[in-house]
Structure 1
Amino acid sequence: MTILNLKVNGINVQADVDSNRRLLDFLREDLNLTGTKEGCAVGECGACTIILDSKSVCSCLILAAQCEGAEVTTIEALHRDPVGKKLQNAFVQHGGVQCGFCTPGVLLSTKALLDVCPDPTDDEINEALEGNLCRCTGYQPIITSIKAVLKAR
């Protein structure tokens, strides 16, 4: 067991974790933050994407113990951020949400991009989303949703 101290969605968290516990499992099972989904469990689909210290990462590939002192943002906190709330609304309005399974990861990948690049090019948007698999939208409604937020700025 390792004592873990980190910040999750702006709240300081201290917990005992097994050294082999994935961050994904810690978030979902220990903190009940179930918006982070498990898809492939090997970092290929992006369903488990969270923001870790300002970078979008697959939480299925990271051990919780590696996150000592880190700051984690999950989908549950996105609505508290002005850009995050705009992204969520645009995804609903423009059909970027279909089955919804990939949506938390896509939104967090997009938010991480916009935090470092507020006016991304099409190539930068595509690159930021290349780790997120969506089986429903064909990606065009996702891109349309992101561009709607950019246009409204």
Structure 2
Amino acid sequence: MNSKISDFGLARIFEGDQTEVNTKRVVGTYGYMSLEYVIDGHFSMKSDIFSFGVMVLEIVSGKKSRGIEHPDHELNLLGPAWKLWNECRPMELMDTLMENVPASGMLKCIHVGLLCVQNRPEDRPSISSVLFMLDSKNASLPQPKQPEFYTERSFIDTDSSLPQPNYFSCQ
């Protein structure tokens, strides 16, 4: 895989046909780095997908990834995004500057952003899938799982054998 055409961010550290690397020196900005990279030094193309998802949620919300205050506890942006998604109120994440953007487009961006920040790299879409989902008007999107909030390393594993709806079901 040629990293010069497939991705952004730290993917440029790949050489030749590498698809993942391990490093003892973690470089990057907390809040944008995937959990497997921060804790284990394990970096793959899916680590960049995580960063992309954080950026999408930042753009939609107009908020930075870190420093989000919540009345119950302190979270990064992933916490409020997931909480609103789970409560069928994802549009409340939207920045007021985005009010003229069609709701369906904003909802799709939030949905794709949450898919990109999944805990397990194998649950994150590839960049080609992300582009397809964002570009397609009729793409069927899988339901995201709860992302890690960096407050503890719990790796909540949902039962993937259970049927999951493939669209946002709160109307």
TM-score normalised by the chain length of structure 2: 0.29
Rg comparison, structure with higher value: 2
TM-score normalised by the chain length of structure 1: 0.31
Tell me which of the two structures has the higher relative contact order, counting C-alpha pairs closer than 8 angstroms and 6 or more residues apart. Answer: 1
Q: Which has the higher strand share?
A: 1
